[in-house]
Amino acid sequence: MKIALMMENSQAGKNAMILEQLNSVATPLNHKVFNVGMSDENDHHLTYIHLGIMASLLLNSKAVDFIVSGCGTGQGAMMSLNAHPGVVCGYCLEPSDAFLFNQINNGNAIAMAFAKGFGWAAELNARYIFEKAFTGPRGEGYPVERKEPQVKNAGILNQVKAATMKSNYLDGLKAMDQELVKTAVTGSGFQECFFAHCQDAEIAAYVKSLVA
């Protein structure tokens, strides 16, 4: 699995710690982690709005399989990511959130709070969240006897989201402020990950047109 880590400007100082905990879980599982920004306070400036654009491009182009995102409360990142087609982002404050999201909703992104409640042993909480997010099977349901309706409802929710976002994916991006999208894709970490692993030529061409 290819996993992208992204954080906005207010919490960039915690990137190294979160990256370390994510790698401690992902590396033994043979997952590859891409740190797409912000790596520190001096990195390419991102808000949680940019995180949603970045996540959607990475997931819809199949450049990565999963997104770990976050902001101060995690709420902004979650809403920003879920505003885009092809992104199903869960809100994870503790390991049980990651486990239940994994089993019941089986999405492709999580949003974490890197300021609210981020105190003593916060690095352990982050590591345990990642363990529950990336260890073991997905979509098993919880409790297990509820698997059938939970899997069905997760599929229905994805259909509802697709129905409410009927426009072509790229048409939706092009309808946004292009300076906003350009800022989202200008960071070196994002570009290294995206252009090396993007599997959609049309999306790649669009991003290239922005950064040319």
pLDDT of residue 149: 94
Q: What is the pLDDT of residues 85-114, one digit of tens each?
A: 999 999 999 999 999 999 999 999 999 999
**CATH code, domain carrying 37:** 3.40.1400.10
pLDDT of residue 85: 94
* Rounded Cα distance, 12 and 6, in Å: 9
Count the helices and strands in the chain (H runs, E runs): 10, 5
Q: What is the pLDDT of residues 113-169, one digit of tens each?
A: 999 999 999 999 999 999 999 998 999 999 989 999 999 999 999 898 888 887 789
Q: What is the pLDDT of residues 14-23, one digit of tens each?
A: 999 999 999 9
pLDDT of residue 161: 86
Q: Which of 27-31, 97-101, 146-150, 181-185 has the lowest mean pLDDT?
A: 146-150
Q: Are 38 and 12 in contact (CB under 8 A)?
A: yes
pLDDT of residue 23: 98
* Rounded Cα distance, 31 and 177, in Å: 34
- Residues in a beta bridge with 5: 35, 68
What is the Cα 173 distance to its own chain's centre? 17
The mean per-residue pLDDT over the stretch 23-35 comes to 98
Please state the domain count of the chain: 1
* Rounded Cα distance, 87 and 45, in Å: 22
Q: Are 4 and 36 in contact (CB under 8 A)?
A: yes
pLDDT of residue 185: 98
Return the H-helix or E-strand segment holding 24. helix 15-26
* Rounded Cα distance, 178 and 160, in Å: 27
Q: What percent of the chain has pLDDT over 70?
A: 100
Q: What is the pLDDT of residues 74-85, one digit of tens each?
A: 999 999 999 999
* Rounded Cα distance, 22 and 140, in Å: 23
Domain hosting residue 134, numbered range: 2-211
Q: Are 48 and 59 in contact (CB under 8 A)?
A: no
* Rounded Cα distance, 59 and 31, in Å: 16
